[in-house]
Structure 1
């Protein structure tokens, strides 16, 4: 045929021949480029109906557009010759390259990523290769991988002698024996996981220079594939890392259910092994040049990409569904993002991994259609080897997100995958890499991809929010993550460190809204723990929250912080309620906002709503002990003491060292008049956390009511001593004086608390412990000054 013309393609030279036809290099006279023309054997397409079906499937296959897949241009018929036109790929095959020796690990990983990416694209479009091997992978003149042959047809029968690698001609049509997966040899249905197996064989051969199974006799080769494990990679090449060996052997598992379940999963693990390049971003693999060269195509005996896949369709209608057979999972409505692994191999970067986890949770949580588990619960699983299905059951979620983060200089790489908890199968996986300054945009991309994968309905506002490009100075983001790491430890020293880190982030990037929001929370917690008095901490917290909202009003966190300040410091319950509503509209998954709002709702007398809100917070953060305590407090404030005791007794039984549960249980016994039980629980709390002012106040009240006056007075003296070293609310001293029956002194301490704007003041309106003073005119006048709404108290 050399010198002849098929369509507008002038045949230049023969470059390969095999049982499925002859491949020629030809010249496209219209576009002035070299192409590869595959002339199919006579009789392959026996009638017009078969030819039309083939053409239809060729059109679908031609839509594959990936830099590592040979492109199909068109299918034609002329003078009785059926032919396929494809991209011309100069270079040599991977098989030819391996004849010179093994590849360095970095090249194995780089080529593996390209090949796996190509398989991912094909599988997503319903195309399974089924004959992946080094002879079917070209290495271009620029060193990139290009898969030449997709979708080998079971019904195709070569007219020429098959390769010596194959067992029989019919088996050659179904694959190449040394690379066949066990399920195919057993005659079982195959799906996309067959490609994972053959991909493992290719990785094995690149790493060791030999096939996974070396037997020459077909019978022994089949027995080895079915029953024998391959020689460990590192036994043949110790320079290969244990991590890469693990990836290869998992791909070669004889049980399809134990392999990677998709090319996406394999791709994630390969990318995790790839060192981060020193450039500002990882460039996509470029398309090799189409410039004509004089070298012949290195097709060898490889069959053509399009031909095999198309013939599957010709001979087996609906083949995509049978080959890929992806089940339709029930809709996912709840997910948990597990702690990202620190792949930086630097323990000092642990704060970075934890901070990225929290930031990713916060970003995904803005999706209203999903219930997203809070950070407190998921961090319990940091470093665990617990099965995903068990974690999902404990967290009551449909799916989990797991992954890793790697930091290298100013570059950050996140690899994540979404796993369906009901089947333990990966639904989606991806790796993201970018400069640290673009990490906020990258987090939005991850959140948007997950939402789309689980078919969550994003509102236009949510979609826009996740798509917006946000930048932050790398040094500021690093300081912010260090601050989050310290903030979550909750000790006074760590809280001060957190505030300093957030302030540093703000100094480095004054437009960083999240840093202002976190700074507001830091000041709130410093006040709550008595490290700063309210008149110092709360104005600073308010200023930070308002600045955050000025920069980005779409953030839920500063709205919730501002709501708390309005409630506990400004005593403006109306504005507080409005800010809580706004926070939860923006992020319904913000468990902390729901928890705070639940307590706020008790303040305004909406006890049933408060209980419901706290229960929802518990669903979002199912392992949070403090939310369990605060649910009990909602019942306590509603005077439903039996239910509060039931919850707290269960909690102290399961968590005997959780001091605040003992304290609230003791306080509940106290207001019920069960004084011996009250003092027992409160004393236990004081042993677990000595000299905590609130517990000393409630315990002193219990001692006073029980007639143990000297012990009550002693606790009052301890509070006075503590107040000289740190801020102690006068409310705690008022408790002790009230228990001792000294109402006037108790009211005097409450007046001091009012002057200091103690966060206890609004709570007095519903606090059962202060029912002893509720009928006192002075006390009621004090409450009116706090609420600024005369006569509108929750309790009579």
Structure 2
């Protein structure tokens, strides 16, 4: 259990004693506390989780090192001061319960708090400014309460600050640095650094502590600034590790301004941190209450801290004059230009940058529990979906942004890769039926924070919270919303919390796009509907599942497409604005009913409702291609790829569309680009093989399809293309072998009849080809709807049976 692992570690001076006597064993009872497990160890003692047998609760029990309390008077003094600490009563201070001695073992008992230390939390990266302000305010409030009681911590550091699962800050080891006396403190020959290193961790200590002076409440202010500095920049104010050099830096040098290490740190937060880190106590905040005031201003929209430090003070005095001169100059320029167009450009440049595209990066799961990843991913999806309703804004789709979930590159680099103007990042914490969302908007080019805010509420109101976040971002970037879009963004509906979480789990597994994941998602969507029959999102998810199962040939189309129709219509009956449900219904109408006119209308309605829904653009592109509208199809798949630029599917399908447009060179170039993203993505090898075959490059075609066969584990999706290539290359025996394998498989499980018809066409057996095309027709094969444009069917086009098939499929003539 790592959460207490760093709580008792510190930089030890030469005379600090580490525990050498036998430590309590697991199961042993000290007083009325039963030892359960060791959860930390360091210079100030060993920490255990123990159970209070009297009050039936878990506690943290710290066994002090031998020699810390050298005699009975020292022990009595410790007991007296520990009991004084026990009177500190604040929600952000870990409560001291008891001090006792049993069998020469001195131990302190205090509140046991599940959570993670701030040190562990910062190991994952810097925190958003809104979260720094929130945690800083809790820290300042707790220090204010302690300082009023005359108690100074003396050892504030990230390892002594715990963050609970619901985001509550807890200060640990309050006053312990003063209580534990070591021999070095009584040694008149010890240097100040040796003496006072024992009273705190060196890198976070105030200069006066290093000089051997008494610490007061302003020493805690300095340490608080060091903690905030690390939370904002990811490093300590003075990162030196060589102790003499570190001491010299703390005493005589200034820290690098946080904004130089992290451009997203606002000037206001930088000023607060630098004021905390003043070399002399008089240069810092004179109380934790003052620090709290500025942090509260920082976290409140429309207000800014009044703090100015060092070089900022003189500028602050001159600011009104400077501002007036700037405004006068700007007005003169605008009057000289005298054109509305130019004036608009200048005003826009002076304010919020012109943002036409953005990416929502995966929200951080603050619980750190992997089983809660589905919730954080679901909140990311929801924010993307809400912002995607804005037609004037290009929003990157889920698949592309999820590539940054584990590895966070610098924001400008991410923005370049995704081709966006701005980035939204943040975090989410769900605890029982409460949820907190923190979001931050950054100008990607300048790596400059534009806006940050925190939203908290009941899980029943999660749709309202999501809507509020999206509306706030839309307002911040000054994007023009159509009246219809304003209506779409507003959501005041409450939901069943349990049903919503089941829905999010369903989406989590649906996005895996594996047979196992799809089956799991079906189960979760059905459970969500059982809990809440009015859950339109769950019905839409159910429809999406059935469509994918049919599209991937995992279930017979005649089995699952009617189920998709029922689910999609129910979703739209409950909420007619769901683009996902319109898209699934379009797939049913097009692929199953073969009503391409009605199917195209459904796709167009989906795109109207959510112009940034990449899947709708993709499926619409494929549908346009099937009826021969090549230019429109190419434009739509290009749009889908712009919305999801790192998606392997979108990149490969662009090559797929070029193939059916018979633009083989463009297709090959695009598919090679796809394989640069992931050389193991087997569908790209499949499509590449198809294109090579049409160019007469049979050896290359067969090599690509064999690679796809190997990567896919022998997928039946690859087999017909490989058999067709063998036949085209004159290797008919190999083609027949694969054909027989498919026919045998069709007796045990679903095999698309169109795939078998393809091979017969390549072998020149028209009668068998048309027989299997008839089976595909009556079996509602989705692949059959590509027959009008599939180059591999060219050998059958002159036959009257082919023209009759196109007529019955309602496909328009050439």
Question: Secondary structure of 1:778's match?
Answer: helix
Residue in structure 2 matched with residue 680 of structure 1 by the alignment: 703
2:438 to 411, 415, 420: 415
Question: Secondary structure of 1:761's match?
Answer: helix
Q: 1:207 to 1:537 in 2, by over 3 A?
A: farther
Deviation, structure 1 residue 596: 0.9
Q: Distance in 1 between matches of 2:306 and 2:735?
A: 87
1:600 to 623, 630, 642: 623
Q: 1:347 to 1:707 in 2, by over 3 A?
A: same
Deviation, structure 1 residue 722: 2.5
Residue in structure 2 matched with residue 358 of structure 1 by the alignment: 381
Q: How does 1:457-606 map to 2 (within 5 A)?
A: 457-606=480-629
Q: Structure 2 length as normaliser, TM-score?
A: 0.63
Q: How does 1:243-282 map to 2 (within 5 A)?
A: 254-257=256-259, 258=261, 261-262=265-266
Deviation, structure 1 residue 315: 7.7
- 1:530, 1:726 within 8 Å by CA — same for their partners in 2? no
Q: 1:461 to 1:322 in 2, by over 3 A?
A: farther
- The count of residues paired between Structure 1 and Structure 2 equals 571
Which segment drifts farther, 677-686 or 704-713?
704-713
1:765 aligns with 2:783: no
1:106 aligns with 2:92: yes
Question: Secondary structure of 1:765's match?
Answer: coil
Q: Distance in 2 between matches of 1:266 and 1:514?
A: 43
Residue in structure 2 matched with residue 449 of structure 1 by the alignment: 472
- Kindly provide the CA deviation profile for residues 26-46 of structure 1, in whole angstroms up to 9, marking residues without a partner as x: xxxxxxxxxxxxxxxxxxxxx
Q: Distance in 2 between matches of 1:206 and 1:248?
A: 23
Deviation, structure 1 residue 248: 9.4
Residue in structure 1 matched with residue 797 of structure 2 by the alignment: 774
Q: Distance in 1 between matches of 2:498 and 2:140?
A: 45
Q: Distance in 2 between matches of 1:502 and 1:602?
A: 32
Q: 1:467 to 1:354 in 2, by over 3 A?
A: same
Q: Structure 1 length as normaliser, TM-score?
A: 0.64
Which segment drifts farther, 707-716 or 520-529?
707-716
Deviation, structure 1 residue 373: 0.5
Q: Distance in 2 between matches of 1:514 and 1:318?
A: 56
Residue in structure 2 matched with residue 12 of structure 1 by the alignment: none
Q: How does 1:32-51 map to 2 (within 5 A)?
A: none
- Kindly provide the CA deviation profile for residues 647-682 of structure 1, in whole angstroms up to 9, marking residues without a partner as x: 223433553222111111111222333322222211
Q: Distance in 1 between matches of 2:579 and 2:306?
A: 51
- 1:103, 1:207 within 8 Å by CA — same for their partners in 2? no
Residue in structure 2 matched with residue 745 of structure 1 by the alignment: 768
- 1:335, 1:401 within 8 Å by CA — same for their partners in 2? yes
Deviation, structure 1 residue 602: 0.9
2:414 to 379, 385, 391: 391
Q: Distance in 1 between matches of 2:229 and 2:225?
A: 8
Residue in structure 2 matched with residue 717 of structure 1 by the alignment: 740
Higher relative contact order (CA 8 A, sep 6+): 1
Q: 1:428 to 1:248 in 2, by over 3 A?
A: farther
Q: 1:119 to 1:711 in 2, by over 3 A?
A: closer
1:793 aligns with 2:813: yes
Residue in structure 2 matched with residue 652 of structure 1 by the alignment: 675
Q: Distance in 2 between matches of 1:683 and 1:511?
A: 48
Q: Distance in 1 between matches of 2:597 and 2:431?
A: 48
Deviation, structure 1 residue 213: 4.3
- 2:383, 2:470 within 8 Å by CA — same for their partners in 1? yes
2:684 to 657, 661, 678: 661
Question: Secondary structure of 2:692's match?
Answer: helix
1:434 to 457, 468, 485: 457
- 1:102, 1:207 within 8 Å by CA — same for their partners in 2? no
Q: Distance in 2 between matches of 1:523 and 1:207?
A: 61
Q: Distance in 2 between matches of 1:562 and 1:713?
A: 38
Deviation, structure 1 residue 613: 1.2
Q: How does 1:225-304 map to 2 (within 5 A)?
A: 254-257=256-259, 258=261, 261-262=265-266
Residue in structure 2 matched with residue 332 of structure 1 by the alignment: 355
- Kindly provide the CA deviation profile for residues 219-257 of structure 1, in whole angstroms up to 9, marking residues without a partner as x: x9xxxx9xx99986699x9xx99969979969x954152
- 2:232, 2:258 within 8 Å by CA — same for their partners in 1? no
How large is the RMSD of aligned CA atoms in angstroms? 4.7
Q: Distance in 2 between matches of 1:585 and 1:451?
A: 18
- 1:264, 1:428 within 8 Å by CA — same for their partners in 2? no
Residue in structure 2 matched with residue 77 of structure 1 by the alignment: none
Q: Distance in 1 between matches of 2:140 and 2:427?
A: 31
Q: 1:547 to 1:531 in 2, by over 3 A?
A: same
Q: Distance in 2 between matches of 1:610 and 1:579?
A: 16
Question: Secondary structure of 2:435's match?
Answer: strand
Deviation, structure 1 residue 208: 9.7
Q: 1:568 to 1:352 in 2, by over 3 A?
A: same
1:643 aligns with 2:666: yes
Which consecutive residues of structure 2, in runs of 5 or more, have no partner in the other structure?
1-83, 95-128, 150-173, 179-199, 239-253, 274-304, 328-346
Q: 1:134 to 1:709 in 2, by over 3 A?
A: closer
Q: Distance in 1 between matches of 2:91 and 2:800?
A: 82
Residue in structure 1 matched with residue 187 of structure 2 by the alignment: none
Q: 1:680 to 1:244 in 2, by over 3 A?
A: closer
Q: 1:497 to 1:580 in 2, by over 3 A?
A: same
